[in-house]
Structure 1
Amino acid sequence: MKSLMRLFLSEPNLAEPLYRQVVAKARSPHWYVEGQVPDTKEGRFAVLATLLALTDLRLERGGDESRKTSVALAECFVHDMDSQLRQEGVGDPVMGKRVGSLVGALGGRVGAWRRAIEGEESWEAVAGRSLYREQVPSPASLAHSLDELKHYWRGLEGRGDEALIGGVLP
């Protein structure tokens, strides 16, 4: 009976508080006003995926629990994207492909931001692709977003694993 109950009761994802906080950061109006990221589904996804990529990179640099949270954070993202697509009426036959595409877009950002953090590529170039698909509206908008992303990264680096896992973001 116990194993049958496990089929119907899912354990809460340990990264849910962190995921909710990253989503809240991605909804900050400054990204879309001063940063001039298009306030569209694609633009909002770009900001969320960018912040998640940076958060994931910080989690990868932490201890065992932090690295476990990195996996759990990806699971939160997949669950959220699945839910969002279902709300938009996307059906099961194409759901896997659409979610897979979004996960791939996140993975591409993780790789690009890893190169930026390691100094192999400029932050400006990565931000231009990650947030604007290289269609940067103005130098001022890129400068704003770049400052915010650097501030976010420095804040992530300054957070202890436990605080970060608990959703305490810069």
Structure 2
Amino acid sequence: MGRDAGRDALVPLYRAIVSAARLPVWYRAGKVPDTIDGRFDMIATILTLVLLRLESEGAQANAAAARLTETFVDDMDGQLRQEGIGDIVVGKHVGRMMGALGGRLGAFRDALAPGGDLDGAIARNVLRDPDADRGAVAVLRDGFLSLNAELEATPVNELLEGAWRS
């Protein structure tokens, strides 16, 4: 079976998501653990912001969002295998990761709406601690809001090419 050209076209965007998720500020000032789980949380959160941006474009961006999610799944599958996790267990892990991504989408959709509790969503979904350090939550909140504004300011065709405006 050949590669999906539509998915291949989204590789630059996925790489931009991963690069944004690896910025040291998240791990230093934001206190996200620099572990496999912490890196997953950051990639999934940045991906969530991008998916919510695509969602705002309506039906025309749905296919791209689905392909971007498939790219994420493929990457996570590969990362798990690289860590030595076997075929039988990989599927369960990927299933949990997809559940976490879906939960994060709902949490951040609500949190970014007027009156939403973004700090709570960050504490629960990124730092995995409802009583997380307020300073760290503030760093993450400010960074996510800035990134979200950049995504909103970027025309969807540019975003799909992996470029967002900063």
Q: Same fold (TM over 0.5)?
A: yes
Please tell me the residue identity of whatever aligns with 2:105.
V
Separation in 1 of the partners of 2:27 and 2:130? 14
Q: Is residue 2:11 matched to residue 1:10?
A: no
**Counterpart of 2:103?**
108
- Does the 8 Å CA contact 2:120/2:130 hold for their aligned counterparts? no
- Does the 8 Å CA contact 1:66/1:165 hold for their aligned counterparts? no
Q: Give the alignment partner of residue 27 of structure 1, picking from 11, 22, 31.
A: 22
**Counterpart of 1:76?**
71
Per the normalisation by structure 1, the TM-score is 0.89
RMSD: 1.5
- Cα deviation, 1:123-146, whole Å, max 9, x if unaligned, reads 111111121112555322111111
Shift in CA distance, 137/63, structure 1 to aligned 2, threshold 3 Å: closer
**Counterpart of 1:4?**
none
Give the secondary-structure state (helix, strand or coil) at the position aligned to 2:15: helix
Give the secondary-structure state (helix, strand or coil) at the position aligned to 1:36: coil
Separation in 1 of the partners of 2:35 and 2:150? 27
Greater CA radius of gyration, 1 or 2?
A: 1
Give the secondary-structure state (helix, strand or coil) at the position aligned to 2:126: helix
Matching of residues 1-170 of structure 1 within 5 Å: 7=1, 9-12=2-5, 13=7, 14-119=9-114, 121-134=116-129, 137-169=132-164, 170=166
Count how many residue pairs are aligned between Structure 1 and Structure 2: 163
Please tell me the residue identity of whatever aligns with 1:111.
G
Percent same amino acid among aligned pairs?
Answer: 40
Please tell me the residue identity of whatever aligns with 1:142.
V
- Does the 8 Å CA contact 1:61/1:67 hold for their aligned counterparts? no
Separation in 2 of the partners of 1:153 and 1:102? 22
Please tell me the residue identity of whatever aligns with 2:118.
W
Please say which of residues 122-131 and 56-65 is displaced more in the overlay: 56-65
Gaps in structure 2 of 5+ consecutive residues: none
Aligned structure 1 segments of 4 or more residues deviating by more than 6 angstroms: none
